Amino acid sequence: MDAGSYSASSNKKQSRCPLQEQLLQRRNSRENLDRFIPNRSAMDFDYAHYMLTEAAKKGKENPAVSSPSREAYRKQLAETFNMNRSRILAFKNKPPTPVEAIPNEFAFVQQPKSAKPRRHIPQTCERTLDAPDIMDDYYLNLLDWGSSNVLSIALGSTVYLWDASDGATSELVTIDEENGPVTSVKWAPDGRHIAVGLNNSEVQLWDSTANRLLRTLKGGHRSRVGALDWNNHILTTGGMDGQIINNDVRIRSPIVDTYQGHDQEVCGLKWSASGQQLASGGNDNCLHIWDRSMASSNSTTQWLHRLEDHTAAVKALAWCPFQGNLLASGGGGSDRCIKFWNTHTGACLNSVDTGSQVCSLIWNKNERELLSSHGFTQNQLTLWKYPSMVKVAELTGHTSRVLFMAQSPDGCTVASAAGDETLRFWNVFGTPEVAKPAPKANPEPFAHQRQTMIR
């Protein structure tokens, strides 16, 4: 409709020039015996005829012969018929107001919206680091990015630290074969202290700045600790024994709460941003929601919700940053689904079959988007638009399942580690509008993919 109106007006504009030109040419032709009169009802044809015939008579007659009585009669006649006018053709009515093609109340439809420019998502990684000896184990959590912009990764029995600001690599700790390998790593909120879960059921707390072991948590679990998460000074640990333990690292006897609900290994742990709810996923295909206010040090805490919709292990968990009670969970190889939950009611809001094993989930902090990492067959990272769950981009490059992902403190970059023994960095979430990029001395950081040994 808009296009049709615009086309008609443009045709009128184009036809005006040739039409005017044609009228000017025809004025000199004797065949043009008619003229364009805009409003015939506003014309006095009797007066016009009189003036034309009177002018012709004046040309033929001798004005000297005219008698005084005749001249007086002519003046009286002119006054009677109101013929003392200088204009023959005159408009009595104002020209009509031009009609708008589109009424004012609909004018907003034709105004183009100031659409936000579409964010460019690079299809290749910015940097690739070698990660030899990384364990290809779906149930572990071997990668984390701290608030001080230092990334930690466990390769076999060694934990390495990679400083994202200058690319420096350092070794934090190497565990002996009797107690290793390392099965999980998790930075504390301060970005300085880090928890390291071990295969022998112990958890070590390290000061990364001083490179010093602060304490070792023992006796809580009976087997390896594959999942960790912090809630302020509370370190929550999940083990192969199915137990979940809250440890207050400030006190001598750290165990303050115990959650029992999983029959098999706990492979996913995530506290909500408010610190009131804990989500746990296990190899028993179950997802539990625990309420902090229901925790008790005297007895085993009962879950708030037990969700059994997944048909495979639930490792990938991610709390929504813009809706506190929204949780995304991903299932293993025989499930392949991303599900969304209202953790207040326990209702499943949506379920999407991704077509492959879901290994990890990360929300975009600046847009309503969700990033997922996958296994066979494409081993890709997929960016989804929420809540429509339309695919925005698919990032490929890994040649084995992408087991682990971690997000930079500014929310822009995502690091992914896979069974192909590579660590890749993706600028998938762009640059936040509030952040201004700091000047860099090196003019070509991430200019091309390059292989660097991390140790």
Question: For 251-264, how does the pLDDT look when each residue is reduced to its tens digit (9 = 90+)?
Answer: 999 999 999 999 99
Whether the per-residue pLDDT at 1 is higher than 60: the answer is no
For the record, the structure tokens of 428 come out as: 């998938």
Q: Do 61 and 54 contact (CB within 8 A), yes or no?
A: no
> How many angstroms separate the CA atoms of 292 and 87, rounded?
95
Q: Is the sign of the CA dihedral 308, 369, 404, 222 positive or negative?
A: negative
Average pLDDT score over residue span 68-83: 75
CA distances from 172 to 84, 136, 150, 453 (A): 111, 21, 12, 16
Q: Match 């690292």 to its residue by tokens.
A: 249
Tell me the pLDDT tens digit for each residue of 264-322: 999 999 999 999 999 999 999 999 999 998 876 556 678 999 999 999 999 999 999 99
The DSSP 8-state label assigned to residue 190 in this structure reads: T
> How many angstroms separate the CA atoms of 341 and 302, rounded?
19
Give the pLDDT confidence score for residue 129 in this predicted structure.
97
Give the pLDDT confidence score for residue 23 in this predicted structure.
42
> How many angstroms separate the CA atoms of 403 and 410, rounded?
22
Give the pLDDT confidence score for residue 79 in this predicted structure.
73
- Degrees to nearest 5, angle at CA 284 with 278 and 287: 25
Average pLDDT score over residue span 34-49: 62
Give the pLDDT confidence score for residue 283 in this predicted structure.
98
Whether the per-residue pLDDT at 54 is higher than 90: the answer is no
Residue 162 pLDDT grade (very low, low, confident, very high; cuts 50, 70, 90): very high
> How many angstroms separate the CA atoms of 219 and 203, rounded?
10
Domains of the chain in start order, with CATH, are 132-307 (2.130.10.10), 314-429 (2.130.10.10)
Residue 244 pLDDT grade (very low, low, confident, very high; cuts 50, 70, 90): very high
Is the model more confident about 120 or about 228? 228
- Is 0.85 surpassed by the pTM of this model? no
Look at residues 329, 296, 290, 293 and name the one whose alpha carbon lies nearest to residue 311: 329
